[in-house]
């Protein structure tokens, strides 16, 4: 897309200083930018890189100036840059088509504006909304539903009955709706607990590569609007994740745990079953939250078992000083020993 | 399937109180059940939900009564419910067929009662037993063998030579028989150690989505009868897992470790190479078991490096009190300081 | 391949004792070897197994002798065995062919000696080098490039623009070039930061099953020559990994972290964003390296947050003795209490 700096300033609500007609065709890092790429400066530390960049236009904080460059002034340059990118970059939208190798059940309803790639398999009763793109090798099981303007990258599997909202993007290898992991031990073996619930993923969710989201056992696994899930994440049966929460790579959420709104979960966190993370809480990388635990609203936790971050840090500082503490204790014992 | 409460009581060996002819067509949670769904009550805490449920039939502990409901009394309601579900729910068995898009080597032997989905690739010398279902996009490499009544969900990969028993269910994205991760460093590079062993998976195993199980290097990776493996688990070369053990999501078992029978391994556990977990041992979530370590029969461990659970808890309780201990030590030092 | 012991000795630069004409057709473990298989002995502990093996030829340390066996003497038997295996074992190279079911864009350039399996999808402008094998269900997105003599196992996904060097082996389910996980929070939702960078994988890299490697956001994710990556590993946007480094299963490397040459990262390690692991450093299993941390050249670290291994071990030893320390402190307090 070809835009002027003035058009972008208007789109962002930014104050413009410099050439209103500077042309913008893309975004880039300062080191890679060409003249028509937009860059941004968040921290004064990187001012030099922005200054030297070939880019003609910069998003920066109010008052910043760069010799010979057009400046768009905003309070939050990184946020404005993300919005500008979404506005400037060409959509990856392919034109509507159905590859002749796709196998589509006669009972499936595929919107005419959807695009269906090669070797896609679409089973009975599946519904696919307008503008949705389904790439090669995707499997949509019996009765699965995809909303409008979704993107399924190659090799995505939707088990039967999975329901996906609008503008959901699912990366390659992700599996949605697989059986939960529930067994009852008895008579020397493990009996499978029924895994017949459903999975519902709301609008504007993004799901990373090779992530697995299980269907509910008897209930529903729910991912709310705007949730972002990274690669290789495990979401177990009956889990509920609230709006706009973020879950980084390789984290696992066990059965029946609930996660509130705008919760931030770092990488490799383990959340046991029946936990509750309230709105706005934060779990640091590799934290382990034991069965049934509640993390309070806005609380930040770290460690295994997880505790409030400041306590963890204080305790950990003393952990590092344990050899010193032990030495001091030994000296004290020696000095207070009764001399016989 | 349509059954009566009396038939189910007989199947379960349960005592029936109420309407022997109550009809059962499915199972559900109390909140979602219709009259013909079976529910169960395990804990008195949830009695109210069972009472209010629309279900006409309940599995519960001896002596429990619910107004207007038929009760099937058993010692272990959850176990009986799991068995009832297996008995009541319609099998997902599809009829025998071979989709015309499947590519099957003339030297492969596929049982006439097996079903082979669209875009399946079956290489030379593969064997597939009676009643086995292979869903879309599965790849069965040269000489792989699948027993009877297995279910392979879409996108499963069996490398050449993988051997799978009867009634094995493998979820989407699982990879069985990939090369182990073994290198020998020398002359400034990493030389691949030969990864030419095999992988054998016994009867009644279930394997989760996107799990990877490597073939042996020179020996065999073995998963015994009844083992249940969750999503995103890593099983390395030469590992052996004993009967009826359970491995939760995102756990990793490193090369040549052996796991006994009925071992329980929680999520995100890391087991280094050459460990031995004896029968009935338990590793808590995120535990880390160092190279060569043995966990004794029935022992429960937690932490990294893992230790007996009660010791870990005692040590951890003191860890949390480290700031207090340090303070007490400081006071003691002050009070015993010689006054000059 | 059929070779004599003398030919192998020459290939390895080993000293031979015994029958120069002993025939070698494969490699095996002592217990499984037939007469024509090569075995090796690294540790005197396993001497007995080697002695009893049916193998006629053994690689061992200088001076070792086995009754009736030909011995190839080398300083590093395991390394020599790995080299011998690479030399003796038949290459899995298939003959050049293109399966008729492969969908190949007319603008793609596929070397005549490459082999393309069933149901492969190759988009516009893709390049595939001589001798490269692409197995069933692989997806090569727009403009992806594969060098010579690569092996892609079934179900590998290369997003558009991914660049892969020569002799790279990628296992099933791996995803290369997926979007990085970067969002900017604002106005109550998460805005996607542009993920438009590239991914470059150099020569002689091996990538495990179901591993995910994201493209850069504005820059490039780079995996250098000879790097070996295990199964289920997560490599985030903009990460750079230096030559011959090794990354074990289920490890995650977060955005913009850099890893030097010959770094060794064990399983389930978590490396936060903007870390730097210098050449030859080592991270123990499950270690957690916090944001922005540098691990110095050759340093070995363990724990979360990670610290030098010897310090971690010393601190952890005291952690295990915390109940004892607390008890000693209590006694000291009692004995120094002023008697009133």
Phi, psi at C120, each rounded to 5°: -90, 140
B139 contacts C155? CB cut-off 8 A: yes
Residue (of A118, A151, A108, A145) closest to A133 by Cα position:
A151
**Residue C43 CB coordination number (10 Å):** 9
Taking contacts as CB-CB distances below 8 angstroms, the residues of chain B near A232 are: 210, 232
- Residues A119 and A131: their CA atoms lie apart, in Å, by 19
Of C121, C184, C214, the CB nearest to A118: C121
Same domain, yes or no: C194 and C307: yes
Instruction: Please provide the DSSP assignment of C189-237 as one string.
Output: EEEEPP---EEEE-TT-EE-TT-EEEPPSSSEEEE-TT-EE-TT-EE-T
The answer to the question of residue B335 being in a domain is no
| Strand-strand pairing, C151-152 and C133-134 | parallel
Domain boundary, last residue among C88, C115, C139: C88
What pLDDT was estimated at residue B299?
98
Q: Which residues 189-248 of C have a C-beta within 8 angstroms of A?
A: 189-194, 196, 210, 212, 214, 218-219, 232, 234, 236
Our CA-based measurement puts residue A186 at a distance from the nearest CA of chain C, in whole angstroms, of 32
- Residues B242 and B259: their CA atoms lie apart, in Å, by 6
- Residues B315 and B303: their CA atoms lie apart, in Å, by 11
Same domain, yes or no: C191 and C298: yes
Same domain, yes or no: B205 and B64: no
Q: Is the CB of A272 inside 8 Å of chain B's CB atoms?
A: yes
- Residues B103 and B120: their CA atoms lie apart, in Å, by 6
Taking contacts as CB-CB distances below 8 angstroms, the residues of chain B near A180 are: none
**Residue B151 CB coordination number (10 Å):** 21
Helix or strand holding residue B335 (H, E): helix B322-336
- Residues C167 and A237: their CA atoms lie apart, in Å, by 41
Is residue A90 predicted with pLDDT exceeding 80?
no
Is residue B117 predicted with pLDDT exceeding 90?
yes
A103 contacts B118? CB cut-off 8 A: yes
- B30 neighbors B50 (Cβ within 8 angstroms): yes
β-bridge partners, C146: C128, C164
Q: Is the CB of C255 inside 8 Å of chain A's CB atoms?
A: no
- Residues B129 and B132: their CA atoms lie apart, in Å, by 6
Q: Is C312 helix (H, G, I), strand (E, B) or coil?
A: helix
Residue (of A210, C228, C252) closest to B181 by Cα position:
C228
Our CA-based measurement puts residue A188 at a distance from the nearest CA of chain C, in whole angstroms, of 32
Same domain, yes or no: A69 and A149: no
Helix or strand holding residue A140 (H, E): strand A139-140
Residue ranges of chain C with pLDDT lower than 50? 339-340
- C54 neighbors C35 (Cβ within 8 angstroms): yes
Instruction: State whether the Cα torsion C321-C325-C327-C328 is positive or negative.
Output: positive
Same domain, yes or no: C156 and C296: yes
Same domain, yes or no: C42 and C71: yes
Q: Which residues 70-129 of C have a C-beta within 8 angstroms of B?
A: 76, 78-79, 81-83, 85-86, 89, 101, 117-119
Question: Could you tell me the pLDDT band of residue A338, with boundaries at 50, 70 and 90?
Answer: low
Same domain, yes or no: A79 and A102: no
What pLDDT was estimated at residue C338?
57
pLDDT digits (tens, 9 = 90+) for A140-150: 999 999 999 99
Same domain, yes or no: B215 and B142: yes
Based on the number of CB atoms within 10 Å of its own CB, is C87 exposed (0-12), middle (13-18) or buried (19 or more)? middle
Q: Is C309 helix (H, G, I), strand (E, B) or coil?
A: helix
Based on the number of CB atoms within 10 Å of its own CB, is C13 exposed (0-12), middle (13-18) or buried (19 or more)? exposed
Total of domains in chain C: 2
Q: Is B139 helix (H, G, I), strand (E, B) or coil?
A: strand
N- to C-terminal Cα separation, chain B:
91
Is residue B285 predicted with pLDDT exceeding 70?
yes
Helix or strand holding residue C277 (H, E): strand C276-277
pLDDT digits (tens, 9 = 90+) for B148-161: 999 999 999 999 99
Residue (of C16, C42, C18) closest to C30 by Cα position:
C42
pLDDT digits (tens, 9 = 90+) for B47-104: 999 999 999 999 999 999 999 999 999 999 999 999 999 999 877 667 899 999 999 9
The answer to the question of residue C322 being in a domain is no
Q: Is the CB of C330 inside 8 Å of chain A's CB atoms?
A: no
Residue (of A312, A310, A262, A263) closest to A287 by Cα position:
A312
Residue of B nearest to A249 (CA): B250
Instruction: State whether the Cα torsion B327-B331-B334-B336 is positive or negative.
Output: negative
What pLDDT was estimated at residue B273?
98
Q: Identify the active-site residue in A237, A244, A274, A276.
A: A237
Of B139, B191, B234, the CB nearest to C137: B139
β-bridge partners, B189: B186
Residue (of A249, C78, C170, C287) closest to B272 by Cα position:
C287
- Residues B235 and B205: their CA atoms lie apart, in Å, by 14
**Chain C: touching chains (3 or more CB pairs < 8 Å):** A, B
Domain boundary, last residue among B20, B53, B88: B88
Distance from chain centroid for Cα B332: 53
Our CA-based measurement puts residue B337 at a distance from the nearest CA of chain C, in whole angstroms, of 11
Average pLDDT over residues A327-334: 92
- Of the residues A142, A193, A212, the best mutation for testing chain B's interface (the one with the most B CB atoms within 10 Å of its CB) is A212
The complex scores an ipTM of 0.96
Our CA-based measurement puts residue A287 at a distance from the nearest CA of chain C, in whole angstroms, of 10
Our CA-based measurement puts residue A91 at a distance from the nearest CA of chain C, in whole angstroms, of 12
- Of the residues A270, A303, A312, the best mutation for testing chain B's interface (the one with the most B CB atoms within 10 Å of its CB) is A270
Q: Is A147 helix (H, G, I), strand (E, B) or coil?
A: coil
Same domain, yes or no: C271 and C152: yes
A191 contacts B83? CB cut-off 8 A: yes
Q: Is the CB of C268 inside 8 Å of chain A's CB atoms?
A: yes
What pLDDT was estimated at residue A135?
98
pTM: 0.96
Instruction: Please provide the DSSP assignment of A72-92 as one string.
Output: EE-S-HHHHHHHHHHHHSPP-
The answer to the question of residue C136 being in a domain is yes
DSSP at C95: P
Taking contacts as CB-CB distances below 8 angstroms, the residues of chain A near C191 are: 79, 82-83, 86
The answer to the question of residue B321 being in a domain is no
- Residues A233 and B256: their CA atoms lie apart, in Å, by 26
Cα separation values, A35 from A30, A31, B71, C198, Å: 10, 11, 77, 20
- Residues A174 and C157: their CA atoms lie apart, in Å, by 12
Phi, psi at B224, each rounded to 5°: -85, 175
pLDDT digits (tens, 9 = 90+) for C31-43: 999 999 999 999 9
Angle at C51 between CA C49 and CA C55, to 5 degrees: 90
Q: What is the mean pLDDT of chain B?
A: 95
What pLDDT was estimated at residue C93?
67
Q: Output Rg (C-alpha) for chain B, integer angstroms.
A: 26
The answer to the question of residue C224 being in a domain is yes
pLDDT digits (tens, 9 = 90+) for A233-279: 999 999 999 999 999 999 999 999 999 999 999 999 999 999 999 99
Instruction: Please provide the DSSP assignment of B145-194 as one string.
Output: EE-TT-EE-TT-EE-TT-EE-SS-EE-TT-EEEEPP--EEEETTEEEEPP
The answer to the question of residue B325 being in a domain is no
Q: Which residues 1-20 of A have a C-beta within 8 angstroms of C?
A: none
- C157 neighbors A152 (Cβ within 8 angstroms): no
In sequence order, which residues have a C-beta less than 8 Å from that of residue C13 and are 6 or more positions away?
C74
Residue (of A182, C224, C24) closest to B85 by Cα position:
A182
A336 contacts C318? CB cut-off 8 A: no
- Of the residues C93, C136, C333, the best mutation for testing chain B's interface (the one with the most B CB atoms within 10 Å of its CB) is C136
Residue (of A243, A156, A244, A167) closest to A203 by Cα position:
A167
Residue (of B314, B294, B298) closest to B306 by Cα position:
B294
* Poorest-pLDDT segment among A331-335, B7-11, B174-178: A331-335
C172 contacts B178? CB cut-off 8 A: yes
CB burial of B51-87 (b: ≥16 within 10 Å; e: otherwise) equals eebebbbbbbbeebebeebbbbbbebbbbbbbbbbee
CB burial of A248-264 (b: ≥16 within 10 Å; e: otherwise) equals bbbbbbbbbbbbbbbbb
Is residue A91 predicted with pLDDT exceeding 80?
no
| Strand-strand pairing, A189-192 and A157-158 | unpaired
pLDDT digits (tens, 9 = 90+) for B177-192: 999 999 999 988 999 9
What pLDDT was estimated at residue C335?
86
pLDDT digits (tens, 9 = 90+) for B303-317: 999 999 999 999 999
Residue B163 belongs to a domain with what CATH number? 2.160.10.10
In sequence order, which residues have a C-beta less than 8 Å from that of residue C239 and are 6 or more positions away?
C221, C222, C253, C254, C255, C256, C257, C258, C259
Catalytic annotation present for A237: yes
Same domain, yes or no: C114 and C10: no
Distance from chain centroid for Cα B91: 20
Structural domain harbouring B177: 97-311
Same domain, yes or no: B23 and B145: no
Is residue B339 predicted with pLDDT exceeding 60?
no
Our CA-based measurement puts residue B95 at a distance from the nearest CA of chain A, in whole angstroms, of 15
What pLDDT was estimated at residue A181?
96
Residue of C nearest to A304 (CA): C304
- Residues B248 and B241: their CA atoms lie apart, in Å, by 13
Our CA-based measurement puts residue B330 at a distance from the nearest CA of chain A, in whole angstroms, of 9
Cα separation values, A150 from A147, B141, C186, C197, Å: 7, 33, 23, 22
Q: Identify the active-site residue in C95, C237, C244, C274.
A: C237
Same domain, yes or no: B217 and B287: yes
Q: Output Rg (C-alpha) for chain A, integer angstroms.
A: 26
Residue (of C196, C203, C78) closest to C149 by Cα position:
C203
B82 contacts A184? CB cut-off 8 A: yes
C234 contacts A230? CB cut-off 8 A: yes
Average pLDDT over residues A91-99: 82
- A143 neighbors A180 (Cβ within 8 angstroms): no
The answer to the question of residue A11 being in a domain is yes
Q: Which long-range contacts (CB under 8 A, 24 or more apart) does B255-260 make?
A: B255/B180, B255/B181, B255/B182, B255/B217, B260/B297
Instruction: State whether the Cα torsion C263-C266-C267-C269 is positive or negative.
Output: negative
Average pLDDT over residues B235-253: 98
Residue of A nearest to C268 (CA): A268
Residue C22 belongs to a domain with what CATH number? 3.40.1390.10
The answer to the question of residue A322 being in a domain is no
Of C204, C285, C326, the CB nearest to B288: C285
């Amino acid at each position: 897309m070809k835009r002027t700096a003035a058009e972008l300033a208007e789109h962002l609500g930014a104050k413009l200083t410099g050439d209103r007609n500077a042309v913008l065709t893309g975004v880039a890092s300062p080191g890679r930018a060409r003249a028509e790429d937009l860059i941004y400066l968040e921290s004064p530390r990187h001012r030099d890189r922005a200054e030297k960049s070939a880019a003609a236009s910069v998003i920066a904080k109010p008052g910043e100036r760069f010799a010979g460059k057009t400046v768009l002034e905003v309070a939050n340059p990184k946020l404005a840059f993300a919005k500008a990118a979404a506005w400037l970059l060409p959509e990856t939208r392919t034109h509507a088509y159905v590859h002749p190798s796709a196998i589509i059940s006669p009972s499936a309803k595929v919107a005419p504006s959807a695009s269906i790639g090669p070797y896609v398999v679409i089973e009975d009763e599946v519904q696919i909304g307008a503008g949705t793109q389904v790439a090669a090798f995707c499997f949509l099981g019996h009765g699965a539903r995809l909303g409008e303007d979704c993107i399924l990258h190659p090799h995505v599997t939707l088990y039967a009955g999975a329901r996906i909202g609008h503008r959901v993007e699912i990366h390659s290898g992700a599996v949605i709706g697989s059986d939960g992991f529930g067994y009852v031990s008895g008579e020397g073996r493990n009996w499978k607990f029924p895994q017949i619930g459903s999975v519902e993923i709301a609008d504007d969710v993004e799901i990373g590569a090779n992530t697995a989201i299980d269907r509910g056992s008897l209930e529903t696994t729910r991912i709310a609007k705007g949730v972002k899930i990274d690669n290789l994440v495990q979401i177990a049966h009956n889990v509920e994740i609230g709006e706009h929460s973020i879950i980084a790579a390789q984290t696992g959420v066990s059965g029946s745990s609930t996660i509130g709104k705008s919760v931030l979960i770092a990488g490799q966190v383990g959340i046991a079953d029946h936990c509750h993370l309230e709105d706005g809480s934060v779990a640091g990388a590799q934290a382990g939250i034991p069965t049934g635990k509640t993390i309070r609203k806005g609380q930040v936790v770290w460690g295994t078992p997880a505790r409030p971050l400041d306590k963890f840090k204080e305790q950990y500082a003393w952990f590092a000083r344990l050899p010193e503490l032990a030495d001091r204790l030994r000296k004290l014992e020696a000095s207070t020993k009764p001399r016989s």
